[in-house]
Structure 1
Amino acid sequence: MHEVDGTGSGSGSGSGSGSGGVDPERLWLRSGRPRRGRPPAFSREQVTAAAVALADAEGLDAVTMRQVASRVGAGVMSLYSYVPDKETLLELMVDHVSAELPAGEPLTGDWRADLKAMAHAQRALMLRHTWLPAALTARRSPGPHTLAFLEHALVALRPTGLDGGARMEVFSLLTGFVSGHVAHEAAQAAVAHAPDRAAAEARYLAAVAAEGRHPELAKVLAAPSGPLDPDATFARLLDRMVDGLDAV
């Protein structure tokens, strides 16, 4: 799910200190179970699932350590024995939902078709978890589920003949395209549900077109257009992007 550059622990076991960010070795290569003290009342997986449910219901800003602790019925301080900080929690959340991606489905051998199928799966995932594009804006270390999907994409791109670095770039480009498009879809949906704002934007663009300083824009705005079909729009733009890749 991540854009990868070619994208149980005790307290402090998932995060670096200061501005170093999350330590991927400590986060992904060690157990999620607290190392000392009483047997844990919860698992790190349960904490992560609660955070994902909270983000799905109320948005990413609602995900605080206090709110997540309340969801799992834990004290805030005890939550830190599973997840040391919110940045680590976001890493866990992204990889948690990445398990929903089809990393093990058979490939067709047609790299364009396979890449498009992956993009559609990514979009469906991001539409289910609308907070995900925002979570992906920060660089994140790929967890096991993310790596499984990356591996799937790299295998799908083998027929292109591109070297490893170029295949990583294509995967990053694909994920960035899907993430940006879904974020745009969400913004458009928000406008559609605010009639006054939509009407104000239409009046503004009509006034700009009437000034005559943007003739090409005026032609576009004057052209008849039917109702928007988000699925068809995404498929059309995806076709343009993937079919335009130089795989020689």
Structure 2
Amino acid sequence: MPASTGRPAAPEVIWTRPERAARGPRPAHNRAEIAAAAVRIADAEGIDAVSMRRVAAEVGAGTMSLYNYVPRKEDLHELMVDAVTGEYELPEEPSGDWRADLLALARASRDLLRRHPWVPRLYTSVHGFSPNGLRYLEHCLAALEGLDEDDATKMELLAVVHGAVMTYVGNEVATQERSRALPWTPLEEQAARMAYLTDRVGGGAYPRLAAALANAGPAVDLDAYFERTIGRILDAYGRGGPREDRGGDA
């Protein structure tokens, strides 16, 4: 017989695995407790600080016993993403204005990711189908009932908005992390880069860029930029553009 690799015979989903055995003593811990501990560590120290050993110590368990609750580190990550997804405060019913509802959800997503800046590093499409992810998607689709588009286009719209929010917050987080690692202040960094940019663009090699920068106006209000970006995405889908672009029925 070949030696066991330790891998399950077929792919497993953590949500189909029983939280506890049908028989035997009551478990000392549960997934919610374990996920909450991992989230606390990630919030305080970053996702790289989250290990099975560290989480086990946080909940007062042995490292090997933690695997009885969470078989793989990937499962731990999925529990963490689901735990923070549960923070959405969703109304019982949408307002009836799909555009306003999705803009509000985009703002809520931005705020959630700011509280948990490690999420974009973990998030993949599979995390959208965890228990709290399903609850969130169901609410989103209820909010979109007033949009005259097919279900595929609605799911596409949700993915585009989600991706835009992830990119926006991801850029914020990367900028903040880089600033903390530098031996000078963000203002000093910005001044040095603006001096370099002015020198390069002022030489005449980039006339279109020089004109665009000259007419750019005051510093960008990032929150207003966020509102405009999400609003333009919603406007595009509300006009039926994406379906027409795919060659579907008008």
Task: Give the TM-score normalised by structure 2.
Answer: 0.81
Q: Counterparts of 1:211 and 1:134 in 2: how far apart (Å)? A: 40
Cα distance, 1:70 vs. partner?
1.4
Give the residue type in structure 1 aligned to 2:174. A
CA RMSD of superposed structures (Å): 2.5
1:1-248 equivalence runs, <5 A: 17=8, 23-24=12-13, 27-34=14-21, 38-137=25-124, 139-140=126-127, 142-190=129-177, 194=182, 195=185, 196-223=188-215, 225-248=217-240
TM-score normalised over the length of structure 1: 0.82
Contact 2:82 2:127 in 1 (8 A): no
How big is the shift at 1:66? 1.1
Q: 1:183 to 1:162 in 2, by over 3 A?
A: same
Q: Percent identity?
A: 42
Offset of 1:36 from its aligned partner?
Answer: 6.0
Offset at residue 85 of structure 1 (A)? 1.2
Instruction: Measure, in 2, the Cα distance between the counterparts of 1:35 and 1:208.
Output: 70
Which residue number in structure 2 is paired with residue 13 of structure 1? none
Between 198-207 and 151-160, report the one with greater CA deviation. 198-207
Number of equivalences = 230
TM-superposed deviation, 1:34: 4.7
- Structure 1 residue 231 displacement after superposition: 2.2
Contact 1:191–1:197 at 8 Å: present in 2 too?
A: no
Rg bigger for which structure? Answer: 2
Residue deviations 1:41-79, cap 9 Å, x none? 111111111001111111111111111111111111111
Q: Distance in 1 between matches of 2:207 and 2:111?
A: 37
Distance 2:61 2:75 in 1: 18
What are structure 1's unaligned runs of at least 5 residues? 1-15
Matches of 1:223 and 1:186 in 2, distance apart? 28
Contact map agreement 1:33 1:44 (CA 8 A) in 2? no
For the residues of structure 2 that align with 1:214 and 1:83, how far apart are their CA atoms?
55
- Kindly provide the amino acid, as one letter, of the partner of residue 156 in structure 1: A
Moved more, 141-150 or 29-38: 29-38
